[in-house]
Structure formats: C-alpha cells, structure tokens
Amino acid sequence: MTDVTTRIQQTVSTSDVVLFMKGTRDMPQCGFSSRVAGVLNFMGVDFADVNVLADEEIRQGIKDYSEWPTIPQLYVKGEFVGGCDIITEMTLSGELDQLLEQNGVTYDKAAAEKIREANA
C-alpha cells in the first residue's frame, strides 16, 4: 500500500463525511466542487474538505483510490458515494437524505426540502 493510499484511507475513516475537492468548503475553485460543497453547507452537513489542488499526490491518488476519474468526490462513512452529477441527482431525489440518515449523519431536512422545491 502506498503512502498516499494510507493517507486517503486515514482521511475517509476519521471523518463521517469527506469531500475531496478543488479548493475548500469556504472557497471552492471549480464549479463542480462549489456545487457539492454548497449543497453540503446548505444542508448543514459537518464535513471534512480536502483541497486536491494543494497536494498533487492526493489529486491523482484519490482518482486511483476510487477508480473514479473526476473531482469532487464525496465519501460517507468511508464509502465512495460519487461526484457532482451523482450528488446532485441524489439530493434532488432524496437519496442523499436517506444515505445520511442511514449512516447517522446529522443534516437539516428542511434545507434539503428547500433544495428540491427550488429545483422542481
């Protein structure tokens, strides 16, 4: 196991929700990362953000780790959930709510409903 794989495993196992993204939760540096971080922030999800632009090893390593070619990547309880399109679809369908509930992750249900109402 490589050092970067070990670092990624430690990161996804020490926080319930982790977003590997370009930029940070407060200053995303790409539209896709901004969308996912915005959804999580709006829903009040406590998540760790990992700025892949700050570490080239992590930027490539996370793609290898998940076998998913794009950033951002969301992990819940150590499991890869998906990228921007998948998280958007899951938010609009209510699947993200279910996933968070099943994993004991606190979020604002009213905020999740507002997102769905605004996109209906």
Give all domains of the chain, ordered by start, each with its CATH number.
3-118 (3.40.30.10)
CB contact at 8 A, 31 and 2? no
What strand order describes the sheet that includes 48-51?
48-51, 17-21, 73-76, 79-82
Rounded Cα–Cα distance for residues 96 and 110 (Å): 13
Peptide bond into 72 cis (omega under 30): yes
Residue 92 backbone class (left: φ over 0; alpha: ψ -120 to 50; beta: rest): alpha
Residue range 18-22: average pLDDT? 98
Residue range 62-76: average pLDDT? 97
Q: Rounded mean pLDDT of the chain?
A: 96
In 3D space, the residue among 72, 39, 54 whose CA is nearest the CA of residue 7 turns out to be 54
Q: Is the pLDDT of residue 1 over 70?
A: no
Rounded Cα–Cα distance for residues 14 and 37 (Å): 19
Query: Please, what sign has the CA dihedral across residues 58, 87, 17, 28?
Result: positive
pLDDT at 11: 97
Residues near 94 by beta carbon (within 8 Å), at least 6 away in sequence: 112, 116
